[in-house]
Every structure is written in structure tokens, then in C-alpha cells.
Amino acid sequence: MGHKEGKKGNALAKAKKEKELERKPDASKEEKKGKKVELRYVAPDAKEVFVAGDFNGWDTSSHPMKRDKEGVWKVKLRLPPGRYEYKFFADGEWVHYVKGVERVPNPFGTENMVLWVD
């Protein structure tokens, strides 16, 4: 009888271990989702700010930003490695310039900001 209980116990332990492995995030899946990045825009007087870029089809409403106490708007994104162009959209207007951020000309005669994700 002890021999049967041992097999049963091993089977239960194996099943439990398999369940635990199912719950653990797969590292390759995490890598596919991309890297977390945070974009920041200082605009203490703005009422609402969004970020739009080639990572979201330039949708001006899909990525709202949150303002902190100091008037810094922030949004966290998870992006695969690569180069992305983007702009902030504050109170219904495109933001064309943010100091210290790489920019490139766009087809509309203004500039987009550039984000590199390693």
C-alpha cells in the first residue's frame, strides 16, 4: 500500500508543479511585448494631453497622459525595440517642440519627436 501512495503522491506533486509553471510568465512572451518606456511633457496649464505616434497609428485619443502635482504629464508604454516617431497632443493642439528631444522633419512641414527603444 505504501508503494501505491508513493506513486499517487508523486503524481500529485508533478501536477502541482505543472500548474505552477503555467502561472509563471513566459520570458519570451514578456520580451515580445517590449520594453517599458515613460514619456514626459511639462505643461502645468494643460487640461489634457495625449501622445500619438507611429506606435498607435497617430491616434490622438488612445494614449492619455496623467499630470502629476508639478504639472508634468506622463505616460508609460511597452514597445518592442526600434525607432518611433511621436508627438504630444495637448488641449487639441499638436506640440511641435520639446527641448532636448531628438526631432525629424515630417511631411506636414513640422517635426516629429524620435524615441529609440533598445
Task: Give the cell for residue 56.
Answer: 498607435
**pLDDT tens-digit map of 42-79:** 999 999 999 999 999 999 999 999 999 999 999 999 99
Place of cell 502629476: 68
Domain limits of the chain? 1-27, 34-117
Query: What are 114's strand-pairing partners?
Result: 85
Cα–Cα distance for residue pair 62/47, rounded to 1 Å: 16
Cα–Cα distance for residue pair 47/56, rounded to 1 Å: 22
What was the pLDDT predicted at 10? 58
What was the pLDDT predicted at 33? 75
Identity of residue 61: S
CATH number of 34-117: 2.60.40.10
pTM (2 d.p.): 0.72
Asked if residue 5 has pLDDT above 90, the reply is: no
